[in-house]
Amino acid sequence: MTGDVGPATREIAIIGSGPAGLTAAIYCARANLTPVVFEGEPSSTSDQPGGQLMLTTDVENYPGFPDGIMGPELMVAFRAQAARFGADIRTEKVSRVDFTQRPFRLWVGEDPSGEPALSAHAVIVSTGAQSLMLGLEAEERLIGRGLSTCATCDGFFFGGQEIAVVGGGDSAMEEALFLTKFATKVTVIHRRDQLRASKIMQDRAFASDRIEFLWNHTVTDVLGDEAVEGIRVRHTGTGAEQALPLAGLFIAIGHRPNTDLFEGSLAMKPNGYLITEPGSTETNVPGVFACGDVQDDVYRQAVTAAGSGCMAAIDAERWLEAQHDASHR
């Protein structure tokens, strides 16, 4: 670790600030590792500080909150807890990493060609996942104009109107149910003939007299110039198309991991999720650990993310201790 000019070398850097990253930060900070947390930059359409819970409403399955808690409120509390123990939280987005040499190097900002922002002996990757979009040309034009990936942010503006939600999982049901507070009718469009959502969410959605289901259909276009006026849907079996007049479309068709940054640096599954050693948070690079949704394509819950964040902090702490012992032997 000598001859390292440029940025100061820190014990540990954490990339990402959802439940996994901030739990790792709490544990690392309490272990006196003074972690630097790159929490990312605000965005409504991709990953953002606080993670996916920043775009949700009531979180009813996070233990300790018998009456539920708002997603953004929960994440503000996570962040405050990490800050209280001395985590160095930076509102910057990591744009490049070099895991080929130690200490590892991290760059931030648009131009990742200059000096790295930081070097660190260990890195915890907790960049999470982000909402998939439909991949339609109209999306770019109409996002924020009736097309949305955030029911909490935008539901309010659809009072008394008819809207649709695309998707069949828990997020789609949560959004649909939330949107019934405002919209007179919410059509759930799903490409299969049954939902993937949990039983409790399905029961609630089926019980709502404002939610209707359009099974076996995909969205092929979003209509409107200045604002959403309708959509085109196609039957997955017959291929028959029809237009539906709507004021809003909410997209909840799943997620993709935020791993573009680690292409070529860390081992991934074919679906882009990072590979960790079973029962641990170790990646294929010693000293780099991964936790939360970025390495979890099975459970994907706030509480499992937080749990694996704790594991990553402990794994990293032990690894750093072992390195330290080895260098003083």
Partner 1 sequence: MAAITTLSSASFDETVGAAMKPVLVDFWAEWCGPCKMIAPILDELAGEHGESITFAKLNVDDAPDIARRHGVMSIPTLIVFKGGEAATRIVGAKSKAALLEDLAEFL
Residues that bind partner 1 (CB under 8 A): 41-45, 48-50, 53-57, 70-72, 75-76, 91, 93, 109-110, 143-146, 148, 150, 152-154, 156-157, 159, 226-227, 248
Catalytic residue among 47, 154, 296, 315: 154
From the CB of residue 66, how many other CB atoms can be counted at a distance below 10 Å? 7
Report how far apart, in Å, the C-alpha atoms of 153 and of each of 66, 116, 192 are.
Answer: 24, 35, 28
- Considering beta carbons, is residue 25 or 74 the nearer one to partner 1? 74
150 is catalytic: yes
CB of 293 to partner 1, least distance (A): 17
Q: To which residue do tokens 């990402």 refer?
A: 16
- Considering beta carbons, is residue 157 or 206 the nearer one to partner 1? 157
Tell me if 189 sits within 8 A of 272, measured CB to CB. no
CB of 252 to partner 1, least distance (A): 16
Count how many Cα atoms sit within 13 Å of the Cα of residue 77 in the half-sphere of its side chain: 9
CB of 90 to partner 1, least distance (A): 12
CB of 171 to partner 1, least distance (A): 15
- Considering beta carbons, is residue 45 or 236 the nearer one to partner 1? 45
28 is catalytic: no
Catalytic residue among 58, 88, 98, 153: 153
Residues 6+ away with beta carbon under 8 Å from 55: 44, 48, 71, 131, 149, 150, 152, 153
Report how far apart, in Å, the C-alpha atoms of 3 and of each of 6, 8, 218 are.
Answer: 10, 11, 58
At residue 76, the 3 state secondary structure works out as helix
153 is catalytic: yes
From the CB of residue 136, how many other CB atoms can be counted at a distance below 10 Å? 17
CB of 91 to partner 1, least distance (A): 8
Tokens matching residue 189: 């469009």
Q: What is the DSSP letter of 179?
A: H
Catalytic residue among 28, 47, 150, 315: 150
Positions annotated as catalytic residues are 150, 153-154
